[in-house]
Amino acid sequence: MYILLFDQKFKTDLIKLDKSVRDRILKKVFQLEKYPELGKHLIAIDLWSLRIGKYRVLYTIKKNELQVLVLTVDHRSKVYEDI
pTM: 0.94
Q: What is the DSSP letter of 10?
A: H
Residues 25, 34: contact at Cβ < 8 Å? no
Fold entry, domain 3-75:
YaeB-like fold (3.30.2310)
**Type of residue numbered 73:** V
> For residues 50 and 57, is the Cβ–Cβ distance under 8 A?
yes
Q: What is the pLDDT along the chain (83 residues), one digit of tens a residue?
A: 999 999 999 999 999 999 999 999 999 999 999 999 999 999 999 999 999 999 999 999 999 999 999 999 999 999 988 77
